[in-house]
Amino acid sequence: MSNPAPMVDSPSPTSSAIELVDAEPRDPLALALPHSDVPQEERLFLHWLDGKNSATVEGYRGDLADFGAFMRRVDGTPLVEASERRTPDESARAAQRAIAALMALGNTQGPGTANALVLAYRAHLLGERVAPRTVNRRMAAIRSVLKAARLVGAITWTVEVANVGVAGLRDTLGPGKEVVAAIVGALTGAARDGDRDALRNLAIVRLIYDLGLRRGEVVSLNVEHWEPKRRRLWVWGKKRAEREPMDDVPIETARALDAWIDLRGDEPGALFQSFSPRDYGQRLTGSGVYLVVRELGLGLGTRVRPHGIRHTAITEALDKSGGDIRAVQRFSRHADMRTLQVYDDNRRNLGAAIAAQIAADMPGLDDEEGESE
């Protein structure tokens, strides 16, 4: 990502923030509360993240770390070094530093300066062609943690930078059933030979496709969330306050899970762990799942992402059910049924069908002269 352009009419907008990061701030969180023995910024984050599932925590930390990489010190160097891959601890430290700097900036130079910085960050993301949904998620992360800071009295202001407009769902078809079947087939063959990576990755792909799980839901799973005798999986869904049971998991999915756990061991903890040398043995992150699926797709000469596999599963569910949107909603766990209506429309390509009928009534190049008269 290229360096952001300097802000107009606001020289060194982040300089005061960076200089004050390590100062001794007023600490409204120094109370007889949980986490009271850790520094203020870290404590604020711990309170803010309480009750959020691991996927949300990972996403917010990554978004705020990216914001820190946008911010500049007085000498022009980034407040946080840019990185495509951070360990969870690195993301947490980078996120805390970014928000501490933003809080200090707003407290010393005023809310307008803090808002100007966030506005410049949003413009920078759009200039880098970052997807609008990603831009809005990063804005939401900043607003959310500042709301927590204001709630406890660490700040008295807020960031009012709005989201950008987002178009409706476009690609809801995913890579297609044939591609997913090829990936599962290749993984199954390697898994039968005891390949460690294949056993783990097969379980991941089958959870995404067979159950329509989101990658964040997959990486949040612990071994104890799987009950093999009852074929029950406890899933922490999007915007859910607690885990919910998924009963009667398909036998094929259960076999993939059991085979992986036989190799992994049934000791409590993260169901899926990273094999990367940098964070070996730690919980596999959503970014890690993305990279795994991308590599599997590249092995077939195509581009595949986890959510694309979920898209394919939902489209296939609509085909199998004859377009029963209510039944498929139970499978996909979409809160808004209108989202599935978009899937169904795209699946049947209704617009193209109507376009073909309209076009057929007009003279064409293949018509014999005078045929349409």
Q: Is 124 a catalytic residue?
A: no
Q: Which of 232, 307, 333, 347 is catalytic?
A: 307
| Cα–Cα distance measured from residue 22 to residue 85, given in angstroms and rounded to the nearest whole number | 26
* The one-letter amino acid at 192: R
Q: Which of 93, 200, 214, 215 is catalytic?
A: 214
C-alpha distance from residue 55 to each of 60, 242, 286, 347 (Å): 9, 13, 7, 29
Extended beta strands in 187-331, E state = 226-227, 232-235, 244-246
Q: Is 290 a catalytic residue?
A: no
| Cα–Cα distance measured from residue 292 to residue 174, given in angstroms and rounded to the nearest whole number | 17
Which residue, 279, 275, 232, 235, is CA-closest to 254? 232
Q: Which of 137, 255, 305, 334 is catalytic?
A: 334
Give, for 102, the enclosing helix (H) or strand (E).
helix 88-109
- Beta-carbon count within 10 A of 61 CB: 24
Q: Is 320 a catalytic residue?
A: no
Q: Is 35 a catalytic residue?
A: no
Q: Is 52 a catalytic residue?
A: no
Q: What is the dihedral of CA 154, 158, 161, 165, to 10 degrees?
A: 100
Q: Is 137 a catalytic residue?
A: no
**Which are the catalytic amino acids?**
214, 238, 307, 310, 334, 343
